[in-house]
Amino acid sequence: QSVLTQPPSVSGAPGQRVTISCTGSSSNIGAGYDVHWYQQLPGTAPKLLIYGNSNRPSGVPDRFSGSKSGTSASLAITGLQAEDEADYYCRSYDSSLSGLVFGGGTKLTVL
C-alpha cells in the first residue's frame, strides 16, 4: 500500500485528454511538499516529466502539465499520442516517514 495513491490504470484514444491523480495526506502533499512526476517507458529507466508540482523540464512537450491542490496532485496529458503509453509515478516527501515516497504508479494505455 503506497503512501501516495494513484489509479492503477487510465486509458484514452489518440488526441484525447487524460488525467492521473495522486492522492496523499497532511504529512506529505497536504503539508506543502512538492510533487514530481516521472514517466517510465517500457523497459527503460524513469524520466523526469514534471517537477515542483507544475514545471516542465526542457524537452518535455507542453502537452504534459501538472497541478496540485490540498492533499492531491494531478498530471494531465492532452493530445494523447501512442508514444505516451507508459507508466507514470508521482513522488513527494513524507514528514511522518522522514523520507521520500512514490505513488504506486499508473499505466497509461493509448487505445
Partner 1 sequence: EVQLVESGGGLVQPGRSLRLSCAASGFTFDDYAMHWVRQAPGKGLEWVSGISWNSGSIGYADSVKGRFTISRDNAKNSLYLQMNSLRTEDTALYYCAKNSLAARDVGHFDYWGQGTLVTVSS
Q: Which of 7, 12, 34, 54 binds partner 1 (CB under 8 A)?
A: 34
CA–CA distance, 83 with 85 (Å, rounded to integer): 5
Angular region, 32: left φ>0, alpha ψ -120 to 50, beta rest: left
Q: What does the block give as the cell for 81?
A: 499520442
User: In the bound complex, what is the minimum distance in angstroms from residue 109's beta carbon to partner 1?
Assistant: 16
CA–CA distance, 47 with 61 (Å, rounded to integer): 13
Binders of partner 1 among 83-102, rule CB under 8 A? 87, 89, 91, 93, 97-102
Q: Which of 2, 5, 25, 27 binds partner 1 (CB under 8 A)?
A: 2
Footprint of partner 1 (CB under 8 A): 2, 34, 36, 38, 40, 45-48, 51-52, 57, 87, 89, 91, 93, 97-105
